[in-house]
Structure 1
Amino acid sequence: MANIQEEWLEKAILERHIKSIDYNKFTDPIVIGEGGFGKVFKCEWKDCELTVALKCLKVDTTSIDEKIIKDFIDELKLLRSVSSHQNIITFYGVTKDSNGNYNMILEYANEGTLREYLKTGFTKLQWTDKLHIAKEIAHGLLFLHENNIIHRDLHSKNILIHQRQPKITDFGLSKQIDEITSNPNAHGMPAYVEPQCLVNDKYKRNMKSDVYSLGVILWEISSGRPPFPSFESVLSLAVYISKGNREEPIEGTPLQYIKLYKQCWDNILLIDQKQV
């Protein structure tokens, strides 16, 4: 880990903004994923008898502005203070592994991603179940926005299901880190991206960008499948969406539900408590 990131993390730990847990408290590591930061492990936390996810924070920061690193650490502090929300993955703190790299200690979701959950269990879901999932995700996003956190990369693989409860993960500046470190998946989900982002590289994602993504997720919950599955090329799909094309409503979907996700797509809606 580069010095700048380590310095900011250790400063936050010393000031007790972020908890640091001994790495030897975690056992039975299994690789369950990989992102712009590095590998993600499923582990057992002995002291707490919890299954957790350890997400490596190993980043080559030579090409990253120091302000981005500082902002990311600030966001970790904020996450630590607000991650008690039932629709946000819990952030327990950090741990330094045997290679000297810091890892985020995160709540482990036992039912995988929303994408996987819909794929395997959609036929069993009633509309009451679908509305519950949609409402809980909206509650989580509202909570982030009320705390001035923009997700920037909301899609069905960044929503996890734990004991049937949806939980938002991988938000905020982690998206910027992914892009800067040239993570091949950083631009790999155009179906969920606000069209302005697809046509303007300099467009800064904001809360309305998140709401657009939420609209796509609401449609996905109604259909049980990812949007635009027939497109093999990321570029061709991005062009198609930027021309104003959207998925069609699924037969049997409540009209008010359709109206809601279309308002998300049309950028005329910001989430508020009355709507969720």
Structure 2
Amino acid sequence: MGSVLEEASKQQQPEPFDLENYRQCLQWLQQTCRPVFMKELSDFSSVPVPITAENAQHPDMIGGIQQVQVATWKQSQVQILPADRWGHAQYVLQEIQALHQLRKCRQIIQLYGYLPNASPTASHIPALLLQQPSYGSLRQFLGHHFDSIQWPERYKIALDIAQGLRFLTSQGVPCTLHSGNVLIDGEGVAILTGFGVPDGLVTTAPCQMTAQPSPASLLVYVAPEKLQGRSKYSPDWEVYSLGILLWELSSGRVPFDEIISRAEAGPRLQKNMDQLSSAIVKGLREETIAGTPEIYEQLFKMCWEGEGSSRPPLDVVEETLLMLVVVEPMDMLMLPGEEMNMHVSAVVSDSIDGDTLSTHTRSTSIRSSSPGPSHARSNGPRPVTLHQAVSVSNPDMTEWYILSGHDINGYAIVPTFSLECEITPVQTCVGHFLPSSLPILKELLDQDVDIHLLSKLSLQNCLHILFDRYIPIKNENGSAHLHTALDMLLKAGAEVNARDVQGQTPLHLLMKNPKIASEDVLGVLNKMVEKGADTSILSPRDGNVLALAAKYLHFEAARAILNADMLASEPESIDRAIEACMTMTGRATDKFVNLRTKTRELLKLWTGKVGAPRREKVSIKVLQDAGQLDSTGIRAKCRVARMAPKAQLDCANQYYDANIKKKREMILNNMGGFQGLIR
């Protein structure tokens, strides 16, 4: 049993420096990741980090200090780590390949990109840009904030851990789970690190700057069967570790911390830890903390059962935590003017792909259909406010609270939506949107809710929220409810070009939601444009809507934008869209590669002489719709079909005068004017 402590302090002897292997790392990065240049980084700082047994490349280094460089990239804190300082070349390549494979999950540490030639050791060794969560490790976070966080926040952190862990196991990747390998980012999301093959760790570098449990205390996270060495790796080990972390979230401390502290202070550490290991194998567990919710207590006790076969599967753990996240916080819903104890800063994290959105999903199993306020369903508490009734898709309770005089335009914090942002009932509805939400949306709109109100803090309207948070629900009607809701919001007068606090329009968020199918993106785009949505509006970070359509490979949407938006085919816009398309990374399947190539070739068709006829066609259409050209393409006063935005008209007029006007007039003159053309 002492092997656990010995394994925690095991050192790998350095191998001879092999520049060629690091060049292979650089080549792999060039093929799969985005290059980031120094000019894109800001707020540089150098943090002194003690060299420990976990991060030393050689035993002689232990006890010294190394400087770790930290910077800001796209509003996210990153750690700049030269590859040769991470470890030996073969392990670095293994780790960056693992990170690339797992990049789609928000709860997994992100490799944002690399800096070419950033190493002082050799000009061909890249530096890796790793996510550096601002709250440090879970151990550090609980040490500083435990007294101020409430159960809704603990549920959300636990759910993040379970979702990240389930994603890792689905990919066949083991995880060494303890409160030092779970990091908390600026949005309060739990990020997993420290995963890899069963006999070794991967991605330990970001943990260098975070508080870790002591080496001796790591054994309390280890499943009894692993402590005994009587079985090979199994996901059941990680369910056990998750159960220990759930208890740690309820208590704010490492299990058996007093026993471990006394053992570390005494002369017989190894013997005392062996005794603790034996007691854990025989069934010793920590006591439940007073005030722990009953369901949560039952869950972690099931997870830390002594036999792996008695522990629940990870998907059951996730579903239980999801129920707690959605249902339990209803009792803690906050009204305007109240303040939450925990503050989580609104930091936007952007991965290489830009699509590392939160993987939190909403379950339909808890949606209430109770007939009236006197009938509460057995699977959750009865909603006690209008916002609660709307968020759980209970149309009867929604109608009841409206008739009871609840403010249909009132603001409230809904923990399942945001820990900070106050929203109205109609925004709550589209933020938790399901097919069963349609009657509620109709009821609210029939009551003349103010559709123009914006969510506080994020300044999003209903269209922003619908496109940003929409998650497809598999049923016989597919995504029909999304289009129905959009039609209702557009008819009610929702602003299609509104900008949120980050300068994004609803169309920007539509393109960035990877869960919306490309055919639905095209259908929504057409409806929005018909209502006056301007696809040429630039967002501060991502460019116009065409660039986002190209980045997320919405081929048909990109073609529709080019055929309608004169500004989209400007050379600068096309160049940015091609760059965005090529920075999009994904699984190297034939379908992905073909779609990316197809999108890139479409964009190239709109450049130079090849693209001139296409630009001419769009220019004439824009001016004809605005009543500035007749059917022959000559200047005339005609009936206005649809007025384009001023920027579009100016661009079309400029292109027409420079490239089309004289050519059109010459053709008509050669054909005998209008009569000749008609004949």
TM-score, with length taken from structure 1: 0.77
Partner of 1:121: 145
Distance 1:11 1:186, change over 3 A: farther
After TM superposition, list the pairs within 5 Å mapping 1:139-178 onto structure 2: 139-151=163-175, 153-163=176-186, 164-173=188-197, 176=200
Shift of the alpha carbon at 1:226? 1.0
Change over 3 Å in CA distance of 1:121–1:13 after alignment to 2: closer
Deviation at 1:107, TM superposition (A): 1.0
Are 1:13 and 2:29 counterparts?
Answer: yes
Map 1:136-215 → 2, pairs under 5 A? 136-151=160-175, 153-163=176-186, 164-173=188-197, 176=200, 189-200=218-229, 203-215=231-243
2:47 aligned partner = 30
* Residue aligning to 2:574: none
Residue 162 of structure 2 aligns to which amino acid in structure 1?
Answer: A
Whether the 8 Å CA contact 1:159–1:169 is kept in 2: the answer is: yes
Residue 243 of structure 1 pairs with residue 243 of structure 2: no
More strand by proportion, 1 or 2?
1
Q: Which residue of 1 aligns with 2:111?
A: 91
Q: 1:60 to 1:90 in 2, by over 3 A?
A: closer
- Indicate the residue corresponding to 1:51 in structure 2: 77
Distance 2:194 2:157 in 1: 18
What CA deviation, in whole Å up to 9, does each residue of 1:63-88 have, x standing for no partner?
xxx9xx47x73552242243243322
Cα gap change, 1:20/1:207 in structure 2, threshold over 3 Å: closer, same or farther? Answer: farther
Superposed CA RMSD in Å reads 3.3
Assess if the C-alpha contact under 8 Å between 2:114 and 2:128 holds in 1: yes
Aligned partner letter, 1:13: L
SS at match of 2:257: coil
- Tell me the residue number matched to 1:106: 130
More displaced stretch, 234-243 vs 105-114: 234-243
| Distance of aligned partners of 1:36 and 1:87 in 2 relative to their CA distance in 1, 3 Å threshold | same
> Which residue number corresponds to residue 208 of structure 2?
none
Tell me the residue number matched to 1:182.
none
The structure-2 alpha-carbon separation of the partners of 1:33 and 1:45, relative to structure 1 and needing over 3 Å to count, comes to: farther
CA drift at 1:45: 4.7
- SS of residue paired to 2:279: helix
**CA distance, structure 2, for counterparts of residue 270 and residue 246 of structure 1:** 20
The code of the aligned residue for 1:83 comes to R
Q: Which amino acid aligns with 1:43?
A: V
Q: Find the aligned partners of 1:270 and 1:56 in 2 and give their Cα distance.
A: 39
Shift of 1:91: 1.3
The two structures have a TM-score, normalised by structure 2, of 0.34
Say whether residues 1:270 and 2:313 are aligned partners.
Answer: yes
- CA offset digits 1:215-270 (Å, max 9, x no partner): 10000001111111022334443333233211121122122212211221123222
Letter in 2 for 1:195: P
The amino acid of 1:229's aligned partner reads D
Rounded Cα–Cα distance in structure 2 between residues aligned with 1:60 and 1:161: 25
Residue 50 to residue 126, structure 1, CA distance change in 2 (3 Å): closer
Tell me which residue corresponds to 1:181: none
Once the two structures are superposed, the pairs formed by residues 36-75 of structure 1 within 5 Å of their partners are 36=55, 41-45=68-72, 48=74, 50-55=76-81, 58=85, 69=90, 73-74=93-94
Task: Provide the C-alpha distance between the structure 2 equivalents of 1:120 and 1:87, rounded to a whole number of angstroms.
Answer: 21
Q: CA deviation at 1:140?
A: 1.5
**Do the aligned partners of 1:42 and 1:51 also contact (CA within 8 Å) in 2?**
no
C-alpha separation in 1, matches of 2:35 and 2:216: 32
Residue 258 of structure 1 corresponds to which residue in structure 2?
297
Report the CA distance shift for 1:269/1:59 in structure 2 as closer, same or farther (over 3 A): same
Q: Among the aligned pairs, what percent are the same residue?
A: 26
Partner of 1:112, secondary structure, is coil
Question: Rg larger in 1 or in 2?
Answer: 2
Deviation at 1:149, TM superposition (A): 1.8
1:41-66 deviation per Cα after TM superposition (whole angstroms, max 9, x unaligned)? 241156x46421235654775xxxx9
How far off its partner does 1:160 sit? 1.0
Does the CA contact (< 8 Å) of 2:173 and 2:197 recur in 1?
A: no
CA distance in 2, matches of 1:175, 1:238: 20
Q: Per chain length, whose mean CA-contact separation is higher, i.e. which structure has more relative contact order (CA < 8 Å, sep 6+)?
A: 1
User: Is contact 1:54-1:106 (8 Å) kept?
Assistant: yes
Higher helix share: 2
- Which sections of structure 1, spanning at least 5 residues, go unmatched? 179-184
Over 3 Å counting, the alpha-carbon distance change for 1:121 and 1:12 in structure 2 is same
1:227 match? 255
Amino acid at match of 2:319: K
Gaps of 5+ in 2: 1-15, 58-65, 203-213, 264-268, 323-679
Aligned AA for 1:31?
A: P
Count residues in correspondence: 259
